[in-house]
A = this chain, B = another copy of it.
């Protein structure tokens, strides 16, 4: 029988952030609208989740793009696809109980009627709730799995990371250190470069906007880059490729540097670098690796509890911050994983 948790703060209706129109390039606040919908009871096999933290992710840009992507585009007029941390407040399934804290596909809204398949991870009491939407969320787990499974970092190798202070990059640098790599972080702001060195332990941090990147990489990686974990693409990627060591690996995890793919942008031809340096360049999307998710999250939790990893969150309060959140991310305004607290 469905039960309820009456002591949790429960809005009487469901505010939803809908995709109002198909964005061109980076989604802006005006591409969304906030509406109020009536609360719906969970049908058999389902549960009602009250969201607490909404996640704002660079990947959301791809999820609303008209161009072919790895996922079906979010339909205009429907709630924005998003990850969130929430709590079950009513359940009609034995798999989910009121009071269960969950991380999963709950959308940008106050409430979600969900099935078990939408849950990625169950939150425990051992870690702060924000950890489940950052360190143990797709950001941290992407960093861990993409680096270890595709990047294959070896002790003593040089690891380069773009958006090095970002919600994925900040973990990549820290995890790379755990594998004994020398780490070089790229970022576009001096304050973030300082953060890379002081908080995320990068051996070198480079503001690619203020220096000749090629010269800076030549100095920082005189023997070449063994692993390049790329979240940006664009001219930074072209430059980094030309500093790769023979047999180097490039992990393509994002393309933040390119605002629009229509018309198709151009850049340096890179196949000769791939060939003569015998590089391996691979694309990573977390959804291919969900079978390995929980083990990776366990390892990240272990590293966090042992003091080997830190995570940072940048929290806005109120669902009205969601619509403009993606554009703010791409503008580099956040310090740590961007979350919206609506609890």
Interface residues of A (CB under 8 A from B): 62, 68-70, 230, 233-234, 237, 246-247, 252-255, 258, 261, 264-272, 274-285, 288
Q: Contacts A70-B246, A258-B269, A278-B285 known; list 11 others, CB within 8 Å.
A: A68-B276, A247-B288, A254-B275, A255-B271, A265-B268, A265-B269, A266-B267, A267-B268, A275-B283, A278-B288, A279-B282
Q: Which of B255, B276, B281 is the one whose CB lies under 8 Å from A272?
A: B255
Residues of chain B with a CB closer than 8 A to A237's CB: 271
- Would you give the shortest CB distance from A40 to chain B, in whole angstroms? 33
Counting every copy of the chain, the complex holds 2
- Would you give the shortest CB distance from A103 to chain B, in whole angstroms? 23
Residues of chain B with a CB closer than 8 A to A280's CB: 280-283
Residues of chain B with a CB closer than 8 A to A284's CB: 275, 278
Q: Are A275 and B288 in contact (CB under 8 A)?
A: no
Q: Are B278 and A281 in contact (CB under 8 A)?
A: no
Q: Are A279 and B271 in contact (CB under 8 A)?
A: no
Q: Are B276 and A62 in contact (CB under 8 A)?
A: yes
Complex CA gap A275/B69 in Å reads 9
Complex CA gap A285/B278 in Å reads 7
- Would you give the shortest CB distance from A30 to chain B, in whole angstroms? 25
Residues of chain B with a CB closer than 8 A to A255's CB: 271-272, 275
Q: What are 16 A-B pairs at a CB distance below 8 A?
A: A62-B276, A233-B275, A247-B288, A252-B275, A254-B275, A255-B272, A258-B272, A266-B267, A266-B268, A267-B269, A274-B283, A275-B283, A276-B285, A279-B281, A279-B283, A280-B283
Q: Are A269 and B277 in contact (CB under 8 A)?
A: no
Given A237-B271, A265-B269: A283 in contact with B288 (beta carbons within 8 A): no
Residues of chain B with a CB closer than 8 A to A282's CB: 274, 278-281
Q: Are A252 and B269 in contact (CB under 8 A)?
A: no
Q: Are B276 and A268 in contact (CB under 8 A)?
A: no
Q: Which of B274, B277, B288 is the one whose CB lies under 8 Å from A281?
A: B274
Q: Which of B258, B261, B276, B283 is the one whose CB lies under 8 Å from A283?
A: B276
Residues of chain B with a CB closer than 8 A to A277's CB: 70, 283
Q: Are B275 and A285 in contact (CB under 8 A)?
A: yes
Q: Interface centre among A68, A69, A274, A285, by most B CB within 10 Å?
A: A274
Q: Are A271 and B230 in contact (CB under 8 A)?
A: yes
